[in-house]
Amino acid sequence: MARYFIEVAYDGTAFHGSQLQGETPTVQLAINRALSTLLRTEIISYGASRTDEGVHALCAYYHFDLEEPLHPHFQYKLNAILPQTISVNKVYLATNPEANARFDALTRRYRYRIYHKKNPFLLNKALYHPYSIDRTILNETAAIIKEYTDFESFCKRNSQTFTFNCTILQSYWEEKDDELHYVVEANRFLRGMVRALVGTQLQIAGGKHTIDEFRDIIEAKDCTKAYFNVAGNGLYLEHIAYPEGSLTLIEDKK
């Protein structure tokens, strides 16, 4: 039995989140159905990350098992079956047949996109935020986030997690193509965490709270203190890293 990983991208506005929810249209359901149709046997995939409704992915991973070798044109055929809102970008064979897309991931990186001038081509692809923002304060809050490891204040209630600790590797704001982006990379993320980090920082940079109050929100370990109310469609799962040598790329035959 071999274990395969597929790297996929998807438009989150087409789905009710990534994780399987019965017959509700989700990314995982679409992938399971496409794999089962192509391989003519029931296939259950397992995802590396759980994204909420509306959240996009430029690089998400799913693993599945199969006894037979993949068809020489597996990637092409799978893309032909999948809906237009999902694409398979790469296919890998796992070196370890027990490798897990979720638990073997070393880091994940997210990007949140914000635009200030009305643009119909960014609808459902970024957050429209035509309000004054102090960039200096945003840079301060992003740096402060790296000082902490306990992010209970930025986790939605009733989340099933054994710890609220996360190691933040990158946290910064940048301007890109007339947009403002927040980039954050960590070993793990909590449910709703990135959106809460973005929403709370925007509150601080908009003058609603002070930098000291931002620290108070983090240290309170109370999710009612943070701001989760930014749209999911501005958020992108951008990159997932695995141990070097753990995945071998499989390319379709010419």
Domain range summary for the chain, segments of one domain joined by +: 2-104, 107-238
- Please, which pLDDT band fits residue 57 given cuts at 50, 70 and 90? very high
- Calpha distance 128→36 (Å, rounded): 39
- Dihedral angle, C-alpha 36, 42, 46, 50, nearest 10 °: 70
Residues in the chain: 254
- Please, which pLDDT band fits residue 21 given cuts at 50, 70 and 90? confident
Q: How many Cβ atoms are within 10 Å of 227's Cβ, its own excluded?
A: 19
- Please, which pLDDT band fits residue 109 given cuts at 50, 70 and 90? very high
Active site residues: 52
- Calpha distance 33→84 (Å, rounded): 14
Write down the pTM of the prediction: 0.94
Report percent pLDDT > 90 for the chain. 87
CATH (residue range 2-104): 3.30.70.580
Query: For residues 158 and 6, which has the higher predicted lDDT (pLDDT)?
Result: 6
pLDDT higher than 80, residue 254: no
CATH class of the domain comprising 107-238:
alpha beta
pLDDT higher than 90, residue 154: yes
- Please, which pLDDT band fits residue 31 given cuts at 50, 70 and 90? very high
Domains 2-104 and 107-238 belong to one CATH topology: yes
Question: Comparing 28-32, 65-69, 129-133, 156-160, which segment has the lowest mean pLDDT?
Answer: 156-160
